[in-house]
């Protein structure tokens, strides 16, 4: 961050290039300032939980790293609108005697050494966060008076960098995790780079590349599934006092299989678990993974039900997607970007609404194209 030749500045170059396509906000700086203010509040909330609950708050590091990353994103967006160089502002912030540099191994591919800039004195957490809060509040004046923005931006960045250090985080880790998060949410993935999870297994242990599953409802109200003329799974009802058509929810597992290439539930239904690898069979295809997918599906359904099963919805809330990411952490599907999860949910509910309206139908999955569709019986 000290000059244009340091590793950290190269990181800033890369960060700005990667996150620029994720900036979908209005050109007005007002919403960006409010977002920046809110994210600093998020940092303080996470720190408060950590202080109050200590080691019980196991998600502290991930949560606070995410809040610092989102703060950096809004800072970059603000600089973009003010036509200021974030790199130059960073350099100005660390040019005082409050910072020193050390020679450290770079994590760049060429393995060169770089100078990493750190604060000379470590502040206590509470004063560092209070100072950061005061600094972000001064930024709000830019909404009505954007003249001389450097006068408030440089002190804010100084407080931000010191708060990162006192929180026990790395600026590089904050920036990299934010790239992964924002691009995964807002940038459509290159399907050729997405994981398939079972391409190295034998055909009988892979989810089928293409499938058509017939869903029928009998007079009893029970729902039946049939694949290639063979009944699979058990007949389902809604399992709730007030009917809500959850008996058709296997559609969502089929959407997961086709679009995410992941569904321990579908593997169990069609008996195509990866049993040749005991570790994969137990950890990724076993009972716990099945419960995770079923629980996640039921949770999303409870929210989608209040939104008319996502009819006319063009997106899924970021909060829901972040909760999904927490839900599946530790399972192979965590490597799927949030954008792909959004597609699986929206496309899955589009098919569900058709199945629901017709009390059945044929669900058509194509893992090669990562699509799911519907055909009437």
pLDDT of 257-282, one tens digit each?
999 999 999 999 999 999 999 999 99
What is the predicted pLDDT for the residue at 104?
42
By CB atoms closer than 10 A (0-12, 13-18, 19+), residue 308 is: exposed
Determine the Cα–Cα distance for residues 222 and 323; give it in Å rounded to an integer: 31
**How far from the centroid of its chain's Cα atoms is residue 352's Cα?**
24
| β partners of residue 119 | 99
Q: pTM, whole model, 2 decimals? A: 0.78
Residues 6+ apart with CB under 8 A from 237: 221, 222, 223, 247
Which tens digit of pLDDT belongs to each residue from 130-145? 999 999 999 999 999 9
Structural contact between residues 184 and 176, judged by C-beta atoms closer than 8 angstroms: no
Q: What is the pLDDT of residues 60-82, one digit of tens each?
A: 778 889 999 999 999 999 999 99
**Which run of H or of E encompasses 373?**
strand 371-375
Of all residues in the chain, the percent with pLDDT exceeding 90 is: 68
Q: At 58, list the tokens.
A: 């196991």
């Amino acid at each position: 961050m000290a000059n244009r030749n340091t590793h950290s500045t190269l990181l800033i170059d890369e960060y700005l290039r990667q996150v620029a396509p994720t900036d979908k906000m209005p050109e007005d700086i007002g919403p960006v300032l409010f977002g920046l203010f809110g994210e600093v509040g998020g940092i303080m909330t996470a720190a408060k939980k950590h202080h109050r609950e200590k080691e019980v708050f196991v998600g502290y590091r991930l949560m606070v790293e995410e809040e610092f990353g989102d703060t950096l994103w809004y800072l970059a967006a603000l600089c973009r609108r003010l036509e200021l160089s974030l790199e130059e502002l960073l350099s100005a912030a660390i040019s005082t005697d409050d910072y020193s540099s050390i020679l450290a191994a770079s994590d760049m591919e060429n393995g060169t050494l770089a100078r990493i800039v750190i604060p000379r004195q470590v502040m206590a957490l509470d004063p560092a966060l209070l100072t950061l809060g005061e600094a972000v509040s001064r930024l709000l004046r830019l909404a009505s008076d954007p003249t001389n923005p450097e006068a408030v931006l440089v002190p804010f960045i100084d407080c931000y960098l010191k708060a990162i250090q006192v929180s026990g985080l790395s600026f590089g880790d904050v920036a990299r995790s934010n790239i992964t998060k924002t691009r995964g949410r807002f940038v459509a993935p290159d399907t050729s780079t997405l994981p398939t999870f079972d391409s190295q297994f034998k055909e009988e242990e892979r989810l089928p590349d293409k499938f058509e599953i017939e869903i029928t409802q009998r007079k009893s109200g029970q729902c039946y599934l049939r694949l290639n003329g063979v009944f699979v799974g058990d007949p389902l009802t809604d399992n709730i006092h007030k009917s809500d058509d959850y008996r058709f929810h296997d559609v969502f597992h089929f959407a997961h299989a086709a679009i995410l290439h992941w569904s321990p539930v579908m593997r169990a239904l069609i008996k195509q678990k990866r049993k040749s690898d005991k570790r994969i069979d137990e950890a990724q295809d076993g009972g716990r993974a099945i419960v995770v997918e079923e629980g996640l599906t039921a949770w999303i359904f409870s929210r989608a039900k209040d939104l008319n099963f996502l009819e006319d919805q063009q997106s899924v809330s970021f909060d829901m997607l972040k909760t999904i990411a927490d839900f599946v952490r530790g399972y192979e599907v965590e490597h799927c970007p949030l954008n792909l999860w959004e597609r699986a949910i929206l496309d899955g509910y589009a098919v569900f609404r058709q199945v629901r309206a017709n009390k059945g139908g044929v669900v058509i999955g194509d893992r090669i194209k990562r699509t799911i569709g519907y055909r009437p019986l």
